[in-house]
Structure 1
């Protein structure tokens, strides 16, 4: 299993609440329908060090492999839908693929 981690900055003029509502609402609806998505999680950033590097949110999407992720993000209509939707709420984004090694499992979130 692989995880795509994305760091996002909100579009200028949007409040954090507006950004998060769009990201976890309409944008998440597109991502949920993509082929091969195994999990989806959103994180609202509370603080960042150093402050000038601050991102507004961190998204996590799980796939079986990097290849499956690339295929999902390239599949139409999702590729076009995501590109258009990002313009509505996102100023900047960076992504990477990671594998995880859990040392201490976090508590379950309800």
Structure 2
């Protein structure tokens, strides 16, 4: 799998709960429509392990078959709609892409 990983923090005027509800609700309705999306996992962050990791609300991992499939999704009208919905929310985000390797299955 080739993944788009998004780490996000809510806008300053939103609560954590409101942000997670929006992410898993209204925003998810648009995200699920991305062409080529094979899997989507979301983690609502409830605590940081260390002080330097504080301030983040959630993590999404969107999985595609290949880098090309992800690039096609990022060029789609569905991605444009999801980005437009975020607008100028004023939250923070880190977005990275890369090849997944299964390291352990229990």
TM-score above 0.5: yes
Q: Specify which structure has the higher proportion of helix.
A: 1
TM band (smaller chain): 0.7 to 0.9
Q: Which residue of 2 aligns with 1:45?
A: 45
| Deviation for aligned residue 1:25 | 0.7
- The alignment's TM-score, normalised by the length of structure 1, stands at 0.82
Q: Is 2:45–2:56's contact at 8 Å kept on the other side of the alignment?
A: yes
Q: Which residue of 1 aligns with 2:56?
A: 55
Match of 1:62, SS state, is strand
Structure 2: stretches of 5+ with no match in the other structure: none
Q: Is 1:19–1:89's contact at 8 Å kept on the other side of the alignment?
A: no
Structure 1: stretches of 5+ with no match in the other structure: none
Q: Distance in 2 between matches of 1:34 and 1:15?
A: 27
Q: Is 2:31–2:79's contact at 8 Å kept on the other side of the alignment?
A: no
| Deviation for aligned residue 1:82 | 1.2
CA 1:37/1:52 → structure 2, altered by over 3 Å: closer, same or farther?
closer
- The alignment's TM-score, normalised by the length of structure 2, stands at 0.85
| Deviation for aligned residue 1:81 | 1.2
Alignment RMSD: 2.0
